């Protein structure tokens, strides 16, 4: 898997190169100190993935992105964004302009060198996106492809015939791009409240919510403690905070919690799903999108046990088939679908198609 690394810091270029090349499946075939050099390196080496810094002299990452995609429209570009509000905003804008993913970059060289989570994330994203390029797939252009037989979905319980009262979405690695596709497919006319947990730092979640509101789906905002979930609105778990539903006398309320991380994550999908069952019983519809690990597995078990349904993204269109794969392989998914087909399946279940 061939990669170009672009960063204006020679030290960071070296660190990222060593992290990537520690995996025998990855070869760094070019390095660049600014966007103009990255364009030339991509033209010369034809990599699968370019890891692109945002703030650089001569040509910054956002200016370089369209030039890179002109050279190679199938190139997968991963934006390396600082953990700041501005970095988050630029990263989300880049995703909507054609970047495949982003990776939040610690603010100091020492933190980058010593943070295993950064290493694991960048390696997983590079490998997943390179695999998609090799198979002609991508988060923004999901296409069905030959893959291993899908696990058989369990027969739907009688309770699953109830109309869902809420849509709960879990995602992680590769999730923002997948969420853009899902929300655009749901449309403004989606009739249910939507709750979303995306593994993401605090600086990024309000920016993600704002960008999700701009793709034509349900208006989205970071959840606030004590809110009533309303039809046609989406609520995103704030960074470093679990989003849960509380059954209360006047109806379910959104609650924010600083209880310990689950599956090494806060926010985590499992507490969101368990609480959704407590508030809505079997009237919960779950969509499990791309992500590392198995966060959401135990919560999905609770949903299915109560009579709810789970739809999982398929392996071919996932950057990492960890979270949706765990649900599918456990036999909990009533459907395992390419990303581009999930919104249609959801609106089919809710009984109302998306509309602008």
φ/ψ (deg, to 5) at 323:
-65, -50
The residue from 53, 199, 211, 314 that is catalytic is 199
What tokens does 55 get?
Answer: 């703030």
Q: Is 124 in contact with 320 (CB distance < 8 Å)?
A: yes
Is residue 53 annotated as a catalytic residue, yes or no?
Answer: no
Is residue 172 annotated as a catalytic residue, yes or no?
Answer: yes
What tokens does 151 get?
Answer: 């696990």
β-bridge mates for residue 354, sequence order = none
The residue from 172, 275, 300, 318 that is catalytic is 172
Question: What is the rounded distance in angstroms from the CA atom of residue 87 to the CA atom of residue 94?
Answer: 11
* Helix and strand numbers, DSSP H then E, in the chain: 12, 14
Question: What is the rounded distance in angstroms from the CA atom of residue 341 to the CA atom of residue 21?
Answer: 35
The string of DSSP codes covering 98-120 is T--EEEEEPSSHHHHHH-HHHHH
Is residue 334 annotated as a catalytic residue, yes or no?
Answer: no
Q: By three-state DSSP, how is residue 249 classified? A: coil
Q: Is 184 in contact with 171 (CB distance < 8 Å)?
A: no
Is the link from the previous residue into 267 a cis peptide, with omega within 30 of 0? yes
The residue from 53, 89, 295, 314 that is catalytic is 295
Residues carrying an active site annotation:
172, 199, 295
């Amino acid at each position: 898997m061939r990669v170009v690394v672009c960063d204006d810091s020679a030290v960071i270029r070296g660190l990222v190169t060593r992290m990537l090349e520690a995996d025998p499946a990855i070869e760094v075939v070019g390095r660049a100190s600014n966007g103009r050099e990255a364009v030339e390196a991509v033209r010369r080496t034809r990599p699968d993935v370019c890891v692109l810094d945002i703030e650089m002299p001569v040509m910054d990452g956002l200016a370089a992105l369209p030039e890179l995609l002109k050279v190679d429209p199938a190139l997968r570009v991963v934006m390396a964004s600082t953990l700041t509000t501005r970095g988050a905003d630029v990263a989300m804008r880049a995703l909507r302009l054609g970047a495949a993913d982003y990776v939040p970059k610690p603010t100091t060289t020492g933190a980058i060198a010593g943070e295993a989570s950064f290493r694991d994330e960048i390696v997983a994203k590079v490998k997943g996106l390179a695999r998609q390029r090799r198979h002609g797939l991508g988060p923004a252009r999901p296409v069905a492809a030959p893959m291993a037989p899908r696990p058989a979905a369990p027969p739907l319980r009688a309770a699953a015939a109830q109309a869902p009262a809420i849509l709960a979405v879990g995602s992680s690695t590769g999730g923002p791009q997948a969420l853009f596709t899902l929300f655009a497919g749901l449309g403004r006319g989606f009739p249910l409240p939507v709750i979303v947990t995306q593994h993401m730092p605090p600086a990024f979640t309000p920016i993600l919510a704002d960008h999700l509101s701009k793709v034509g789906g349900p208006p989205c905002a970071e959840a606030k403690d004590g809110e009533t979930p309303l039809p046609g609105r989406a609520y995103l778990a704030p960074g470093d905070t679990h989003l849960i539903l509380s059954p209360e006398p006047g109806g379910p309320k959104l609650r924010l919690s600083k209880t310990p991380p689950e599956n090494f994550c806060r926010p985590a999908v499992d507490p969101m799903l368990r609480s959704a069952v407590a508030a809505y019983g079997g009237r919960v519809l779950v969509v499990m999108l791309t992500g590392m690990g198995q966060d959401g597995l135990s919560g999905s078990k609770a949903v299915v046990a109560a009579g709810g349904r789970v739809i999982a993204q398929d392996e071919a269109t996932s950057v990492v088939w960890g979270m949706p794969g765990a649900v599918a392989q456990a036999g909990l998914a009533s459907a395992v679908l390419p990303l581009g087909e999930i919104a249609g399946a959801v609106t089919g279940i809710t009984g109302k198609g998306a509309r602008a």
